[in-house]
Amino acid sequence: MCGIVGAIADRDVVPVLIEGLKRLEYRGYDSAGIAIVAEEAVRRVRRTGRVAEMEAAAGAEDFHASLGIGHTRWATHGGVTEGNAHPHISHGELALVHNGIIENHEQQRERLLALGYTFESQTDTEVIAHLIHHYQSQGHDLLVALQHAVKELDGAYAIAVISKRDPQRMVCARMGCPLLVGLGEGENFVASDVSAIVSATRRVIFLEEGDTAELTREQVRVFDASGAEIPRDVHVSDVSLASLELGPYRHFMQKEIHEQPRAIADTIEAIIDRNSFVSAMFGENAEDIFRDIEAVQILACGTSYYAGLTARYWIEAIAGLPCAVDIASEYRYRQVVANPKQLIVTISQSGETLDTMEALKYAKSLGQQRTLSICNVPESAIPRASELVFYTRAGAEIGVASTKAFTTQLVALFVLTCTLAKLHGRLDAEQEAEMLEALRHLPGSVQHALNLEPQIVAWSERFAPKQHALFLGRGVHYPIALEGALKLKEISYIHAEAYPAGELKHGPLALVDAAMPVVVIAPNDKLLEKVKSNIQEVRARGGEMFVFTDQDSHFSESEGVHVIRTPRHVGVLSPIVHAIPVQLLAYHAALARGTDVDKPRNLAKSVTVE
Ligand code: F6R
């Protein structure tokens, strides 16, 4: 969603701001803007649409300065208009960018109107700019004015502010939305995501909840929620520039689909090196916690939720522990029956998803303190709020549609399953060796599935003109059908639904006719014969079938039944391999329809609002 970048330096920071905003584009946005302090004036340029359009406007207006802030906005309060785009300015003196939502903005607006402020936008953000200006006008310096203002805000924010009254510094604040400070040589930066500033510096301080900070060229000072100056750790980011570049690929989604063998190999590297499922990989106290728990509760959204649904089959069958999986936005508002002996597992690629974070907080507030985060972004909010952490090593995922994050989440959940099984006496040495062997072969099996791309391209051309599609799976492959339908709808805009194949006759069969393609995930597992019968039910109604199966399933092509064979059955890890063809199908169908694959309409990469 929204992105922030800011810089104070001895050089022109405008190119830094523009590059930073371009690196934040992947998060999803609908307008962009920058503000600078130059020659004792605040200047601003904003545009709806792409950063490139705003860049051209900044070029035309000869924007140069050594202090500035920039923003990509994903509209929440107020439509997609230039007037609602950030930065927002108060009294021509102070400019501010904001991520998050201010819940008490209406009350603040009333108060500020009474104080004589006028409003130019429909956003919740503008009140913050006026509030800080109000405190500045009472004689406080910029930092103190910010500290007073944020005390009056309810909701979530990451804020960066510059003022022409104080042209030698920038101030920022964080509550509920990520914000970090980048440390350079004689220059300093602020950003909502390290990728925005990684070409300028890798040394970063992740601000904590309630922190404010003051940046000059030479110095950064951080203050905690009480206003006391506090030292915060400096981290060196290992985000690689290569993961942020497209390279020879047409889209990030295509690149990330093809990176999966490497992403999986990196994620399992430590396990393969140790040749053992070791609980210490989840954190210091993991062994005690894992031994003590009696059940697992998974919380996540979207694709990450489907990873959780897949894991339920593994955790119950292999580790023998009851496992519940909930959509985070539902769990957080349900009257949950708490179980302190339950391990709360959150799954989030970004580590920022607001609903998942709130579900975690709610679970903890009910006395469920054993928490594990499976996440792809180090130091993000959700792992920081969890006792145990397993980082997937997928590398930066830029395409809005999750691909390599999903398969590495599945790998992490499989490792969790085996570790729990071992500690609960359900995995002897021989079985552990078998599971490790299966993992070792996984990157190769995924590569074989990727090699099916030419056949899938041919299928996708038949899909592209369709309006609707059905996806079917059973057992552990049902969540892969759900994921296939989600991928197809979010990037190609073809309406797609997934059902457990056995459920077809209870309703959805009514939808099947010759115009409805039906994708079936049907590997050679114990439910194969059942799936074959379900396929007959569809064929009998004239539906056209597209079946992904494995080499040893003896599935034959017939009229209206098309078959693509994935590699030999890879046993328990089969859902991971079968995620690949459904990703490729969605990607190529979207390509054929000419949609914006990496930035599908209305969607954002990190969903930091409710
Ligand atoms: C779909 C997709 C989303 C995310 C969901 C959760 O391709 O990417 O459904 O999975 O928004 O995001 P994270 O995993 O960052 O919490």
- The whole-number pLDDT of residue 529 equals 83
Task: Work out the average pLDDT over 518-542.
Answer: 85
CA of 325 to the centre of ligand 1 (A): 15
pLDDT of residue 551: 83
pLDDT of residue 393: 95
Q: Which value, to the nearest 10 degrees, does the dihedral of the CA atoms of residues 262, 267, 268, 269 take? A: 80
pLDDT of residue 150: 97
Token pair belonging to 25: 């584009």
Give all strands of the β-sheet with 170-175 in edge-to-edge order: 88-90, 94-99, 157-163, 170-175, 212-215, 220-223
- The atom number, within ligand 1, closest to the CA of 409 reads 14
- Give me the residue label for tokens 């019968």: 533
How far is 310 from 546, CA to CA, in rounded Å? 22
Residues framing ligand 1 (Cβ under 6 A):
301-304, 348-350, 353, 356, 401-402, 486, 490, 606-607
Output 604 or 206, whichever has higher pLDDT. 206
pLDDT band for position 542 (cuts 50, 70, 90): confident
Task: Return the HEC string of 182-238.
Answer: EECCCCEEEECCHHHCCCCCCEEEECCCCCEEEECCCCEEEECCCCCECCCCCEECC
| Res 86: pLDDT | 96
Largest CA distance in the chain: 81
Residues 6 or more apart from 343 whose CB is under 8 A from it?
A: 289, 290, 293, 295, 296, 297, 370, 371, 372
Q: Which of 413, 407, 356, 421 is nearest to 386 (CA)?
A: 356
Residue 210: CB partners within 8 Å, gap ≥ 6? 174, 175, 224, 225
pLDDT beyond 90 at 82: yes
Whether 584 and 577 have beta carbons less than 8 Å apart is answered as no
| Average pLDDT of the segment spanning 505-517 | 88
Say how far apart CA 392 and CA 410 lie, in whole Å: 10
Residue nearest to atom 11 of ligand 1 (CA): 302
The pLDDT value given to residue 389: 98
Q: What is the pLDDT of residue 156?
A: 85
CB atoms near residue 294 (< 10 Å):
12
Q: Whose CA is nearest to atom 9 of ligand 1?
A: 302
The CA–CA distances, whole Å, from 376 to 245, 350, 400, 407 equal 18, 6, 14, 11
453-593 matches 252-449 in CATH topology: yes
Tokens 């904590």 belong to which residue?
Answer: 208
**Measured in angstroms, how far is the CA atom of residue 257 from the centroid of ligand 1?**
15
Domains of the chain by residue range: 3-244, 252-449, 453-593
- Say how many Å lie between the CA of residue 298 and the centre of ligand 1: 15
Residue nearest (by alpha carbon) to ligand 1 atom 3: 302
Pocket test for ligand 1, best of 26, 327, 353, 406 (most atoms within 8 A of CB): 353
Q: Where are the alpha helices (DSSP H) in 259-374?
A: 260-274, 286-292, 302-314, 328-331, 354-365
603 CA distance to ligand 1 centroid (A)? 10
pLDDT at 568 over 90: no
Supply 146's token pair: 């910010």
Cβ atoms of 389 and 262 within 8 Å: the answer is: no
The dihedral built from the CA positions of residue 422, 423, 428 and 429, taken in this order, carries a sign that is: positive
Q: How far is the CA of 144 from the centre of ligand 1 (A)?
A: 37
Average pLDDT over residues 166-185: 93
Probe ligand 1: pick from 252, 345, 350, max atoms within 8 Å of CB?
350
Question: What pLDDT band is residue 55 in, cutting at 50, 70 and 90?
Answer: very high
Helix or strand run (H / E) with residue 24: helix 14-24
Specify the pLDDT at position 242.
77
Residue 175: phi, psi to the nearest 5?
-155, 110
Q: Is 172 a catalytic residue?
A: no
Gap from CA of 119 to ligand 1 centroid (Å): 35
Rounded mean pLDDT, 98-124:
94
Both structure tokens of 522: 């049907």
Which atom in ligand 1 lies closest to the alpha carbon of residue 356?
A: 16
Selected catalytic residue, list 164, 466, 487, 605: 605
Question: What is the C-alpha separation between 148 and 140, in angstroms, rounded?
Answer: 9
**Nearest 5°: CA angle at 373, between 316 and 182?**
160
Q: Which residues of 130-160 are buried (b: 16+ CB within 10 A; e: fewer)?
A: bbbbbbbeeebbbbbbbbbbbeebeebbbbb
Burial 166-198 (b: 16+ CB within 10 A, else e): bbebbbbbbbbbbbbbbbbeebbbbbbbbbbbb
Q: How confident is the model at residue 514 (pLDDT cuts 50, 70, 90)?
A: confident
State the pLDDT confidence band at 356, using cuts at 50, 70 and 90. very high
Question: What is the distance between the alpha carbons of residues 517 and 464, in angstroms, rounded to a whole number?
Answer: 11
Distance of CA 318 to the CA centre of its chain: 28
CA-353 nearest atom, ligand 1: 16
| Lowest-confidence pick of 10-14, 31-35, 377-381, 496-500 | 377-381
Which residues 6+ apart lie within 8 Å of 351 measured at CB?
373, 375, 376, 377, 380, 381, 382, 383
Residue of 2, 177, 301, 375 with catalytic role: 2
**What is d(CA 497, CA 597) in angstroms, rounded to the nearest whole number?**
20
Share of the chain above pLDDT 90, in %: 79
Distance (angstroms) between ligand 1 centre and the Cα of 301 equals 6
In the annotation, is 605 catalytic?
A: yes
Residue 67, pLDDT above cutoff 90: yes
| Closest C-alpha residue for ligand 1 atom 16 | 348
pLDDT in tens, 193-251: 888 999 999 999 999 989 999 999 999 999 999 999 999 999 998 887 777 888 889 99
Question: Comparing 75-79, 349-353, 490-494, which segment has the lowest mean pLDDT?
Answer: 75-79
Regarding the domain delimited by 3-244, which CATH topology (the fold level of the hierarchy) does it fall under?
Glutamine Phosphoribosylpyrophosphate, subunit 1, domain 1 (3.60.20)
Give the H/E segment covering residue 498: strand 495-500
pLDDT at position 527 is 79
The tokens describing 150, both together, are 């944020």
Which residue, judged by its Cα, is nearest atom 5 of ligand 1?
302
Instruction: Give the count of beta carbons closer than 10 Å to the beta carbon of residue 244.
Output: 18
Q: Whose CA is nearest to atom 8 of ligand 1?
A: 402
Burial of 60 (0-12, 13-18, 19+ CB in 10 A): exposed
**Which whole number is the average pLDDT over 391-407?**
95
The answer, yes or no, to whether the previous bond of 479 is cis (omega within 30 of 0) is no
Return the percentage of the chain with pLDDT > 70, whole number.
100
Domain 453-593 has CATH 3.40.50.10490: yes
Question: Are 387 and 247 spatial neighbours (Cβ–Cβ below 8 Å)?
Answer: no
- 433/276 Cα distance (integer angstroms): 8
What is the pLDDT confidence band of residue 540, given thresholds at 50, 70 and 90? confident
pLDDT band (50, 70, 90) for residue 606? confident
Least confident among 21-25, 266-270, 418-422, 568-572? 568-572
CA atoms within 13 A on the CB side of 520: 33
State the average pLDDT for the chain: 93
What is the CATH number that goes with domain 252-449? 3.40.50.10490
Average pLDDT over residues 469-475: 95
Cβ atoms of 306 and 486 within 8 Å: the answer is yes
CA angle 181, 182, 187 (to 5 degrees): 115
